[in-house]
Every structure is written in C-alpha cells, then in structure tokens.
Structure 1
Amino acid sequence: MSMDERTTPRSRGQAQIILAVSPADGLVAVPVGEQYPWANTALQLTLGFERRPDGTYALRNVDTAAPILRALADTARRHRVHLFGGPRTYLGDYAAALADGLPGQWTVKVEVYSHPVWQEDLVPLLWDAGELIDCVEHIRIPYAAQLTKGAGIELLLAERPGSTDQYLLGSFASATFDDNYADPPPPPRSCCPPTRPMPPAWSPARSCRRTNRLSTKDCWPPSKRHTEGSRNSTRCGRRSSTPAATATAPA
C-alpha cells in the first residue's frame, strides 16, 4: 500500500483509491486510474463501503473504520491498487458549504473522472484561461464539483493540485458546443465603400452587423428607394475617382 499526503494522486500505478474525510458521510473512497475497475473490485470486496450513484463509496460508521481500512489495504494490495489519503475534506462537502454561502439557490453535483481521458471532456466547457483550464489540460483531475444556479449559471470547482487546502473555481457550461467550436470564423468578404456620405440604409446595416443579426435581404445592399438621388455614390465593387479604404461588408 502507498499513502500520499495529498488527495490528488501522482501518476503512480494503474489503479488508485482516494480516501477523503466527509463530515456528512464519514469516509469517502474514490476509485480512479486507467485500471479503475481494479479499485472498484477492491472496494466492493471490502465490507463496510457503500457504493453511491456518483461512483464514489462511503464508509459511514467511522467508529469502526480502523479494521475496515486494514481489510481494504490487504484487498487493494492483492488487486494492485494504491491507496491515497490526507487531511483534506471531501470535495463534495466543501462544494456544498461554498454553495450555501453564495446568493440564491445552488445545486451541487460531484463528477468522477475515473479514467484520465475523461477529464478532457471538460476542456471545451470551461470559460477559463487561467490555472483551472491549465490543470484540466495537463494535470490529473480525478473529480470535480459542478455548482449550478438557475438561468444557466454554472461553476466548476476542483482541488488545486499540490495543495491540501486550496481550490480552483471557474465558469462552466455543461451544454456542449458544436464540434467546430475551436475553428476560426470564415474570412469576411470586403468591398469598396462610397467616397460620399453613406446612403441611409448603411447605418441600419452596420448596426445589424454589430449585433450579429444582419439580414442580407433587409439591410444589404441598400434598397432602390434609398439610393435614388444618390447616383454619384459608388456602389460596392466599383472604383470611385478617388482612393477608398477597404471596408468589411456584411456577410
């Protein structure tokens, strides 16, 4: 058996069980690793641990924990599973306490990323450009807590790797984006604007463009009634007698 002072395991062994103290549920065990089924088996064979819907296990009667943990250590050794534990409170309890201190009504859900590749699903959902997204992309995050409030307000809470009492919190969106969320937008088309004052239809077209609600039928090109009387204006695509700067035309 191998024990670490942190609840976030190093890349050691193919299966690990993370143990964390829970004021609400006694002792929580989280099976993780590329061979996390081995850890599941060790916990299932140890009497006293109760499997929960989120994939974690709870040992609720801490008064009898000592002999049960010795049995778990023996079973884990036989199944090539490493045990990790420390003084940190279980993440779910910390998240619940944090939610109670936030304004409004929040719900808390812990997600376990037993296999290392599972945490990669978080990358396109995080609205974060700092330490949290960096940890998700490059460091093992075995589990995290999602805090959700109505109207689509969501946060992701994770333990800060290398620390026993610090956490990382960032904006989160549980709804997935399109598969091409990371693709650059298509290049805009351009044209030469008139050298004289723009016709009346240009202002609404520019306003629509800024709000991404441009209707090519209603805003571009200017209607005939708007351009009557402005025959000297240069239409898009024609050259004027004087040089003109390049402008972006509404797509």
Structure 2
Amino acid sequence: MTIPAISLNDGTTIPAVGFGTCKLNGSPGVEAILRAIDSGYRLLDSAFAYENEGAVGEAVRQTTIHRAELRVTSKLPGRYYKYEDALATVEESLYRTRLDYIDLYLLHWPNPQQGLYLEAWSALVEARQRGWVKSIGVCNFLPAHLETLIGASGITPVVNQIELHPYFPQAEQLAWDKAHGIVTEAWSPIGRGNDLQHHPLLQGIAQRTGKSVVQVILRWQYQLGAVALPKASSAKRQEENLALFDFELSGEEMKAIAGLAKPDGRILGQDPASYEEL
C-alpha cells in the first residue's frame, strides 16, 4: 500500500494519514504501535502529555522499517511554555524516546490566558536549530493565534493539528491554514464518543462505495486536504483505516458530509480561544 506524501513548508514531507497513539502505553502500546507500522503507517503521533513517548520510541527501535522512513511527532504541554522549561522538555522527549531526533514537535494548545506561546515557539525554533527536531508546528491554534505567531517570529508552522470530524468540519480554519502554507492535521477524526458511525447519511455512502463508515469519514478528510490521525489497536482496524486511496467521494457527497456540522460540534467543548491545557 502506497500512502501519498504531503509536502510541508520547510521542504520535508509527512504521509497523508497517520496513527494516533494516545493511551497506547507500556508493552501493549509498543505492540499496538508495531502492528500499526507493520500495517503501513509511517506517521506516529504522540505527545509529552500522553506519557507514551517511551513506548513510541521502543516501537521505532524494534521495527525493521528504517528510521528515515518514519515520522515521529510529539507535543509540548502548556505547563512548560517558559523558554528554558520548553527546551528542557523537548530534550526530555528525546531521552524518553531514546531517539536521536524527533521529526515533528508541536505546541499542544495556545493557552492564551498564559500568554506564553510565543516564548514556547522560540524554544521550538531553537530545538530545531540544535537538531533535536526536524520540523515544528502547532495544535489547536486559531487564525488570530497563528497571525501573532507568524508576525512575531517570521516562521510559519508546518502543521496545525485541530479537532476535525463531520460534526465539526472546520472549513474556515482549513481554508486559512491552506492559504498560509500550513498543513492541517485532524485529531479525533472519526468523532470519538459520538454517533457518527451510525449516521444514516454516512451508512448510505458506505453502502454505495463498498467501504465502512470510518473509511468514508477518513476519505472525506483526505479529500479536504487534512491529514487524519485515527487510532486503533487491532491490525484489522489499523489496515481498514489505511484503505482510503482506492475510491473517491463525489462533490455532492463531500458537501453532504460537511452538512452534518453542528453549531458547536466540539466533542468536549475545548475552544482554543479560552481552553487552557496545562
């Protein structure tokens, strides 16, 4: 299976779909991540706050896939946004993973009440200069946060990882990111904990295409230009989540899925304009 590559604004690339690792910890986590790599995933999404960077690193060391073919992501939690704390935390991520470098390091949330994300971003720039990370980006940043970040630093994040699923399609944020050369990644792409998999519209499209509802949702995100990060432990589900590139949704189907949007479809109500992740 060939996964298309997406070009980032710093000249690097990431696969068009990745693997979420939240709550995949310890030996069972390593085994699940190894299964994902065996299934074909090459983009592994972790975070300092997930407390599983060690499991991700162990899987990377155990697999027979060459390190250069893998893209490992981690994220800086808001409690370490002061410059020196941020640098120490990135270095700690390297120690936890036991890797020579991390491919993509992100600010996890803007945490606007703290007012420290510019300081944290400066630390990521320094970490990249030191060779600790290859690329840097953000999560959950609204256009106002991104304008401030880019204006102050002159450096545009390579990705913005946001909540994105049919109940919360984020059309305006997607368009803003694209216009500024930022690739959008989607967390909770199949709408964790809601009824999307049982929605009649999605079930009808799945029947027409001969695919599952999950595959329809992930294909919708791919055609939007977003990099989805589904999580699954079983090899069967992992392989199913990668089978996105042998069918296509029509323009009408794309619009119909986007039409499932709710006024505020956020799963947990985490609005980046006010939410603080520490």
TM-score by length of 1: 0.25
Q: Which has the higher contact order (CA 8 A, sep 6+)?
A: 2
TM-score by length of 2: 0.23
* Between structures 1 and 2, the one with greater helix share: 2
